[in-house]
Amino acid sequence: MNTPKVSTFAILICLWAIIISCDNPRTSRIFNYDSSATTSNSVGVNLNNNTSTNSNSTTTSTTVTLPSDIESSCSFSTDGINQYLKNNPHIGAYNFCKSTSYNNVFYFQVKDPTKDKNSNLVQICFIPMTTISGKSIYIGNPQCGNYVSSTNIKKITFTKFSSYANATINAVIIFKDGAYYYSAFNGDVNTLTAFQACMNNLYYNDPTYCNSFKATNQYVFHSL
């Protein structure tokens, strides 16, 4: 019997595809989205870990360009030291504001560069959520970015899943793009992986992964 031969070129193409899919940095992380699951009203979890505190510091004037389309209750730091309205143990002092012009656009600023448990600089990721009666579901893919300057104000534009095109983003999960210990996995996994496992297993009435995600508490649940 003749054995089919696979060309060296085809093997190299496959290896190259695997490598770039692992190593290529992305600002948008794609979920393995199951619309039949997440459109069910039974899928939702209370992830509100609201330990953020308000800050009443004052701002000095510099040349930082501030977004013009933000709500009047929002502000940003112009000196990189003062006027951070929120403070959370996970990411430190930060500002997060919604655009008044576009429903899917937000602005974010953080005081200190974010580091993982090994003191390596990591990205910050954001997951758009909709919350009804204390239960939250994700309605779009995460957006991630590097924040290394305390005066850097970055624009975040979410793309919602088609099933949730008319849903309101009224909460956002914010987290460092790093790996932490989660008991449900019995080891270190990326926060994004832990969150997706939480939502996917909750659909099958298994709260184990959500309980583990909440207990590890390596995220900020920012209500809008």
- pLDDT tens for 137-149 read 899 999 999 988 8
The secondary element (H helix, E strand) that includes residue 9 is: helix 8-23
* pLDDT, mean over the chain: 79
Residue range 194-216: average pLDDT? 94
Residue 168's contacts (CB-CB under 8 Å, 6 or more residues apart) are 103, 130
Please name the amino acid found at residue 13: I
Sheet holding 154-157, edge to edge: 53-54, 86-88, 92-98, 105-110, 154-157
Contact 136, 45 (CB under 8 A): yes
Residue range 204-216: average pLDDT? 95
Give the domain ranges of the chain. 29-223
Of the listed ranges 49-58, 156-165, 188-197, the one predicted with least confidence: 49-58
User: CA angle, 191 as apex, 40 and 200 as ends, to 5°?
Assistant: 20
pLDDT at residue 115, rounded to an integer: 79
Check residues 83 and 52 and name the one with the higher pLDDT. Answer: 83
